Amino acid sequence: MSEPSSNELGPPVDWQGCALDCAACACRSLLDQGRCSLGHACVADRYAKRIDRFFHWNPERARDYLAHPYFEVRAVAAKHVDVFHLPQLIHDPDETVRGSAAVRLPPRYLLELVNDPHREVRIRVAARLDPHELHAMIHDADYYVRQVVARRIPEGLLILLMHDEDPGVRSAVASRIGDDWLPGMAHDGEITVRREVARRMPAGQLHLLLDDPDWRVRYEVASRVEPNHLKRLADDEDELVRSLVCQRLGGDTAGVSRLATQKPALRPF
């Protein structure tokens, strides 16, 4: 998306709404060098894109603005400053600044933000923290933080999230946890979790899902379960499951062929 024009934004103003005056600006010398531009690339402007453009042109100036009173200036400066100056932003009063710092902080400093009061900061920390350090975030109050943890934590620790209250977390666990633990998730109350379990279960374990209440799970079971268990699904209430069983058992496929020529009803696989 292109930046709104100056006419749409009105005259350039600072973060307090005051008109900008290049003659009184501390960066006046940069204007003469073509390294800033009023209404386009200006650290004093309240518009974040113009602040960002200023630091893109003058990254060496970012360290001078890490204590600026306007949070947008500090947050944008954090994107451009050298990493050695980032730790001072860990305790910044604004979550936007802390989140911006979390994207680039050296890993050893991220642990200081695992209990940050703002979820967006913790999400960024969970996405970057060393997987072996993520145990510190397993019980985070935010469901999405725990989802990120479940996608990255070492496999051996996934059992700690098997019974998480959020189905998205449990689905992420089911997509990665070792085969030996999948039976323990076979009767999860959420269909998305059981479908993930069914996709990953070895054929020898799929009989545990033969009586699943959802046809999509039973369809997955019918496609891979060991042949000696298939007859249990021969009279399944769902037409697609029955037809798949028929195909696998090598039975009369005339009915299956007729079904295939019909326009199927849309189903939420």
Residue 201 falls inside a structural domain: no
State the Cα–Cα distance between residues 13 and 67, nearest whole angstrom: 20
181-203 burial string, b = 16+ CB within 10 Å, else e?
ebeebbebeebebbbbbbebbee
- In the predicted structure, residue 256 carries a pLDDT above the cut 60: no
Residue 54 falls inside a structural domain: yes
For the chain, how many structural domains are there in total? 1
Contact 104, 122 (CB under 8 A): no
Strands (E), the chain: none
State the Cα–Cα distance between residues 151 and 146, nearest whole angstrom: 9
pTM of the predicted model as reported, rounded to 2 decimal places: 0.84
Task: Name the burial class of residue 27, with classes exposed (0-12), middle (13-18) and buried (19+) by CB atoms within 10 angstroms of its CB.
Answer: middle
- In the predicted structure, residue 269 carries a pLDDT above the cut 90: no
Query: What is the pLDDT, as a whole number, of residue 182?
Result: 97
- In the predicted structure, residue 38 carries a pLDDT above the cut 80: yes
Residue 147 falls inside a structural domain: no
% pLDDT > 90, the chain = 86
**What is the domain extent for residue 45?**
7-81
Residue 48 falls inside a structural domain: yes
Residue 74 falls inside a structural domain: yes
Q: Which are the contacts of 69, defined by CB distance < 8 A and separation ≥ 6?
A: 15
Residue 88 falls inside a structural domain: no
- In the predicted structure, residue 259 carries a pLDDT above the cut 60: no
DSSP 131-144: GGGGGGGTT-SSHH
Residue 49 falls inside a structural domain: yes
% pLDDT > 70, the chain = 89
Per-residue pLDDT of 203-221, as tens digits, reads 999 999 999 999 999 999 9
Residue 70 falls inside a structural domain: yes
